[in-house]
Amino acid sequence: MKLYTASSEETLRARKLLTDWAGDGILTKAQYERLEQETISELRTTNIFLRLVLFLFTLISVGGAVALFFVVSRPSEQTSGVLFLIFAALCYAAAELAASQARSVSLWDRGSARRLLGRFSVRGNAGTFF
């Protein structure tokens, strides 16, 4: 599912290149300011500290909910593997839904959140089956 238009993605890439070029001295201050005004984006990026805090909060919340479920229900080992797969699918669906609803989060934030969640879920499931 594509969350952003191609022009929004291109604008984000162009703004990053402008910042890099200005930092390297390729663009003058006047050129940078003029080009920056031409590449205005409606998307915002969040601070790295906030990203980490939100990631840890989500990780602890989801881990606690799954752990509580397993403590209360006490499933067998074979059933646990199937339940981990179900929880992974639910977490991925929730991440997709949240990403499609949140318009103020940048492209990098959404993509990285999905990739991290997917890796976390797959690694947890693989450990259950082997």
Tell me the longest C-alpha to C-alpha distance in the chain.
67
Distance set, CA 66 to CA 43, 111, 128 (Å) = 33, 24, 14
Alpha-carbon distance 111 to 28, whole Å? 33
With 80 as the cut, is the pLDDT of residue 51 above it?
A: yes
Q: Where are the domains of the chain?
A: 1-43, 46-130
Alpha-carbon distance 66 to 69, whole Å? 5
With 60 as the cut, is the pLDDT of residue 119 above it?
A: no
Give 25's contacts (C-beta < 8 A, 6+ positions apart): none
Alpha-carbon distance 12 to 105, whole Å? 12
What pLDDT score was predicted for residue 121? 53
With 60 as the cut, is the pLDDT of residue 41 above it?
A: yes
Q: Tens digits of per-residue pLDDT, 76-103?
A: 888 888 888 898 898 888 888 877 776 5
